[in-house]
């Protein structure tokens, strides 16, 4: 019995020793595997940290580059519009659009009266300059726009529309103009461009007929009368003679019309032009004028023989 127990005990110890050896080997391999995994994770984490640091560094450099570029852009000479630019030829730094009556040089002179600060053009307020340009007589409104790259200004002008021009006699040049809106156009802006077709009016501007005091209602009424005369006569109106307000004449291409006073009956009186002008054209005698000063009756005034002989005697030396 004792021998059997000892043998069993020996076999148990050998089996236990063998199992213990196997377990320790498995544990060691497990530890080695975990250590290897931790090493790989640490290596990967170090790589991620390095990549992040490089990314942050390059982002920092990019921010510096952007800030520097914005600084250089904000201070570039393309942004700056100085007073010397107004002395350059038109089209380089300044462009003026819409001026037909006012010379461009006058607009430039107005712009030169305003000192421009040494600031980028987007920081310059052009409102005062626009108001100054708008103070010129024929200009209704003006607007100054700013552009950059390169810095320049574009002046957009809206001018008044001339309705009539004033002259003291048939042969003298015009001395003033009046717009539909009532603004006076002084002599410095005359003669008007050919695109306009204002009504010419003869007036001395004195004796209660000061054209500088005419309002837009009177200006528009005179223009309306002139255009009605052209419409009824089918002829171009050369001028309206208002030098005697109580005895107004209208000069057409082929005949004079005596209108008398321009009262409320004038529109009714000029309606008879289409019926009386054909009679004038069929006359073989020289016509002095057609009298439309009376509402009830119209007649044709002929040149007297004395006036005809005087005209012939004046013309004979030239022949």
Divide the 319 residues of the chain into consecutive groups of 10 and give the mean pLDDT of each group: 57 55 67 77 84 89 89 72 73 87 91 82 87 91 87 91 94 93 92 92 81 91 95 94 92 92 91 88 83 86 59 34
Residue-wise pLDDT tens digits, 138-187: 999 999 998 877 888 899 999 999 999 999 999 999 999 999 999 999 99
Domain spanning 83-159: which CATH class is it, in words? alpha beta
Q: State the pLDDT at residue 22.
A: 53
Domain spanning 162-315: which CATH class is it, in words? alpha beta
Q: State the pLDDT at residue 258.
A: 94
Residue 299, token pair as written in the block: 């007649």
Distances (CA, A) of 300 to 117, 232, 287, 290, 307: 70, 17, 7, 5, 16
CA-wise closest residue to 178 among 130, 226, 132? 226
Residue 62, token pair as written in the block: 């990019």
286 in Cβ contact with 293 (< 8 Å): no
Residue-wise pLDDT tens digits, 222-253: 999 999 999 999 999 999 999 888 899 999 99
């Amino acid at each position: 019995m004792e021998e059997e127990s000892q043998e069993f005990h020996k076999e148990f110890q050998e089996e236990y020793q063998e199992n213990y050896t196997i377990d320790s080997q498995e544990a060691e391999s497990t530890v080695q595997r975990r250590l290897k995994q931790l090493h790989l994770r640490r290596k990967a984490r170090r790589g991620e940290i390095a990549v992040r640091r490089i990314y942050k560094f390059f982002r920092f450099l990019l921010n510096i580059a952007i800030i520097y570029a914005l600084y250089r852009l904000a201070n570039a000479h393309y942004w700056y519009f100085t007073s010397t630019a107004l002395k350059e030829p038109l089209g380089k730094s300044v462009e003026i659009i819409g001026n037909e009556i006012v010379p461009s040089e006058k607009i430039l002179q107005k712009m030169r009266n305003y000192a421009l600060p040494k600031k980028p053009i987007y920081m310059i307020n052009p409102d005062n300059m626009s108001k100054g340009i708008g103070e010129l007589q024929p200009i209704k409104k003006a607007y100054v726009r700013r552009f950059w790259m390169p810095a320049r200004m574009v002046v957009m002008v809206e001018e008044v529309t001339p309705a009539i021009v004033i002259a003291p006699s048939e042969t003298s040049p015009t001395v003033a103009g009046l717009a539909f809106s009532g603004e006076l156009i002084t002599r410095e802006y005359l003669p008007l461009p050919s695109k306009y077709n204002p009504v010419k009016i003869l007036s001395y501007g004195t004796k209660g007929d000061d054209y500088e005091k005419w309002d837009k209602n009177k200006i528009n009424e005179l223009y309306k009368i002139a255009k009605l005369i052209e419409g009824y006569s089918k002829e171009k109106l050369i001028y309206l003679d208002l030098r005697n307000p109580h005895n107004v004449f209208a000069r057409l291409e082929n005949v004079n019309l005596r209108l008398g006073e321009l009262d409320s009956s004038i529109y009714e009186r000029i309606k008879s032009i289409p019926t009386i002008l054909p009679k004038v054209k069929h006359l073989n005698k020289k016509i002095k004028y057609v009298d439309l000063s009376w509402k009830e009756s119209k007649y044709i005034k002929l040149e007297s023989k004395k006036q005809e002989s005087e005209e012939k005697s004046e013309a004979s030396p030239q022949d």
